[in-house]
Amino acid sequence: MKKIECIIRPSRLEAVKEALGRYGIHGMTITYVLGCGLQRGKTEYYRGSVYTINLLPKVKIEIITRDNWVAEIVEIISREARTGEIGDGKIFIYPIENTIRIRTGEQGEEAIYRIGVN
């Protein structure tokens, strides 16, 4: 199993979620975060004063999936999150050693999927 973690623009979240849903991916964790990268923030004016905002709002999506689904999920996220501008985000992929469903004690893929359903 793998964990796909991506940081994207908040404005692209619904498009990414809908596209993943059409592919059959419904289990994900969404976190609203602040961050900076090449974008380096932005300058705004408030009551005549200049303010530099270094940390911009972003959305972090975390998905645990089967190894053989990773390439397709990454393609979907990349396609739907891309605007072509600096600040579109990043995708990180991590190996997952094990997963345990607390309610039933199921482990591995059985803890993520109903085997035979997905």
Structure confidence at residue 55 (pLDDT): 83
Dihedral of alpha carbons 85, 36, 34, 65, sign = positive
Inter-residue contact 88 to 97 (CB < 8 Å): no
CA–CA gap between residue 7 and residue 20 (Å, rounded): 15
Looking at residue 115, what is its pLDDT?
Answer: 59
Residues of the chain with pLDDT under 50: 117-118
List the domains of the chain with CATH numbers.
Answer: 2-111 (3.30.70.120)
Whole-structure pTM value: 0.84
Answer yes or no: are the C-beta atoms of 70 and 23 closer than 8 Å.
no
Give me the pLDDT at residue 48, please. Answer: 81
